[in-house]
Amino acid sequence: MTQQVPDEAWQLLEEWLPDNDDPDRPVMTLATVDEAGLPDARSVLLSEYDRDGFSLHTDATSRKVGQLDARPGAALVLRWPDALRQLVVRGTAERAHRAETDRAYALRSPYLQRLAWVNTPAVAQLPPQERRAKWADFAAIHPVPDPPASWVGFLVRPTSLTFWTGEPDSVSHRREYRLGASGWLRTELPG
């Protein structure tokens, strides 16, 4: 049984998502499960995608990392309001290798590279003007920083992919690909 995204779903992903080298990265909602079994969610950038899954990058000390390390089940929601499209991915998150996280960091904008260094719990405690001063000091000393040790990535390997499409003059519709014991199954669902 292959875990990779099936051909049909892959064609849709390529149609819906920007190329990985497009600097304008899509925003997705990442849902995780906390230590009490309750859902948690936040926005993250889709760093890149391939037939194995969807990559995101973040800080190792963040809540989401503790949650994903302890309970790797995750869901992603991407929306294209103007195109009347939504993609929902459910799957399992695993840590990315260092070479992959380094590559993703190099592709981040200078602003996001600095953010990975300066956006710390200690800086969060400071008043706004001191946070600005920390930011300016860091930018002056490290114009193009290397990734901090806390920069980590996750690959969400899908076990289901649900492509929702809306239409102004017809019903909305979902096409779902679900990974079962004998491979990927496609079902058509109401929107």
Ligand X SMILES: Cc1cc2nc3c(=O)[nH]c(=O)nc-3n(C[C@H](O)[C@H](O)[C@H](O)COP(=O)(O)O)c2cc1C
Where do the DSSP E strands lie in the chain? 27-33, 39-45, 48-50, 53-59, 73-80, 85-95, 151-167, 170-180, 183-190
Work out how close the CB of 162 gets to ligand X at its nearest, in angstroms, rounded to a whole number: 22
Site size for ligand X, by CB under 6 A?
Answer: 13
Closer residue to ligand X, CB minimum distance, 27 or 133: 27
Closer residue to ligand X, CB minimum distance, 105 or 177: 105
Work out how close the CB of 187 gets to ligand X at its nearest, in angstroms, rounded to a whole number: 31
Residue 23 DSSP SS3: coil
Residue 156 DSSP SS3: strand
Closer residue to ligand X, CB minimum distance, 99 or 124: 124
Structure tokens given for 136:
């300016």
Residues 34-73 that bind ligand X (CB under 6 A): 40, 42-45, 56-59, 62-64
CB within 8 Å of 107: residues ≥ 6 apart: 21, 23, 47
Closer residue to ligand X, CB minimum distance, 10 or 138: 138
List residues binding ligand X (CB under 6 A).
27, 40, 42-45, 56-59, 62-64
